[in-house]
Amino acid sequence: MSDPLKGLIEILTTQTAILQAAYAKTGAEVPSVDSPFQFSPLELDPSLKEARDLVVAAATQLIATAQSPMDVLFSKMTGLYDTVTLGFVIDVNIPEILKEAGEQGTHVKEISAKTGVDSSYIARVLRYLAARHIFSELTPDVFAHNRLSSLLTKTKSLKEIQEDPIARFDDAPLAAFLHLSSDEYITSSAFFSSFIKNPEQAAAPFNIAYKTPKKMWEWYKEPGNEYRSRRFNDGIKNATDAMFPPQIFISGINGDALKPEDVVVDVGGNAGSETFPKLRYVVQDLEQPIAAGEKLWNEKNPEALKSGKVQLQVHDFFSPQPVKNAAVYFLRLICHDWPDKDARKILANLRAAAGAQSKLVVFDGLVKHVTKDPGSGTSAPYPLLPNWGEDL
């Protein structure tokens, strides 16, 4: 068996050359992390996905190989600070302040004056992130955006955010998700071990953390949680389109095989999307996401609603499914949110409504085996982990 370190370096050399050649064909170079983010079609080019995945897997394994075991474990232990520091800079609108400052950046004292936060705290937070290639420290205590941090900015200006903070995450799904992760998600995760050891004590770690028997969606309706509810909906709006190629959903539904006017029910689909114009779509979700969906559809494709091609329906998937005999019932990123007993209730409601020819399509994550799995497709080349170092 060959030297693992040498094998990792060979993978990095070969695959980075593929990326460099692809960019060179367009007259460009692989973007530097120090440059502002500018979208390139090559970012989503499926022919380059394997090369990118191999580079990331090899680089990650190289770090785990080259670092001392203690350093590797220590870096994992302190990973929670990545989440909380990102949440902090988003919370006090530092990305917007740096965006307005431009390439020359701004001093932490100026950031302090605009946020009301002690400049020494701001300096340490931004320096922590800059050491992880998020933001750049141009000169001591002067920070600016780089390729990664520029994606943290919201679509609204600092003035607009300050005037209407509840709406600050509108059309900013990445910032919304990161802020959510540093709030409810990380608070709930503190009770992960307690929940796993005794899963009967509550429905989820969230319920232990916030001392409530309510589902998160119900808790969002309580006074004081208005911004959380809106932030969650802002976070999931368009998120699947950004994270997953639409071909995945097209292939799963297999709309080409469906008849004109067949009905596709997108259960818990939030704002929804239309792929095959010959079909009819019923997008179901709770009241607030559906209200947001109506706004989105009326802005982007009002005729779809007027014609009835797309129907937005308020529905709780723990209640009986009102649409009977649909051609497709589509569960998009739903089941992972619920324990098995609740997932069975969701599926049972769909089964009761389904006809003999109805198809159930579930799009969700499954934890991969790290070892070779005959049913999982192509394994990564030696010396990489067979699952490419990806758990989902």
Tell me the per-residue pLDDT of 230-269, one tens digit each, with 9 for 90 and over: 898 887 755 666 677 667 777 788 888 889 999 999 987 6
The third-level CATH classification (topology) of the domain covering 70-153 is Arc Repressor Mutant, subunit A (1.10.10)
135: left (phi over 0), alpha (psi -120 to 50) or beta: left
List, in order, residues 6 or more apart from 320 with CB less than 8 Å away. Answer: 349, 352, 353
Burial of 86 (0-12, 13-18, 19+ CB in 10 A): buried
Tell me the mean pLDDT in the region 62-88. Answer: 96
Structure-block tokens of residue 90: 């988003």
pLDDT value at 273 more than 60: no
Tell me the mean pLDDT in the region 302-324. Answer: 94
**Distance spanning both ends of the chain, measured CA to CA:** 28
Considering the candidates 145, 179, 336, 369, report the single residue annotated as catalytic: 336
**Residues forming beta bridges with residue 267, ordered by sequence position:** 284, 331
Does the annotation count 336 as an active-site position? Answer: yes
Give the DSSP H or E segment for 20: helix 4-25
Of 131, 126, 177, nearest to 151 (Cα)?
Answer: 177
From residue 43, alpha-carbon distances to 13, 60, 207, 225, 344 in Å are 19, 20, 39, 36, 38
Angle at 229 between CA 98 and CA 85, to 5 degrees: 35
Contacts 24+ apart (CB under 8 A), 211-218: 216/184, 217/286
CATH number of 244-357: 3.40.50.150
Q: Do 70-153 and 244-357 have matching folds?
A: no
Tell me the mean pLDDT in the region 103-130. Answer: 98
Query: Does pTM surpass 0.75?
Result: yes
**For the chain, domain boundaries:** 4-66, 70-153, 175-239, 244-357
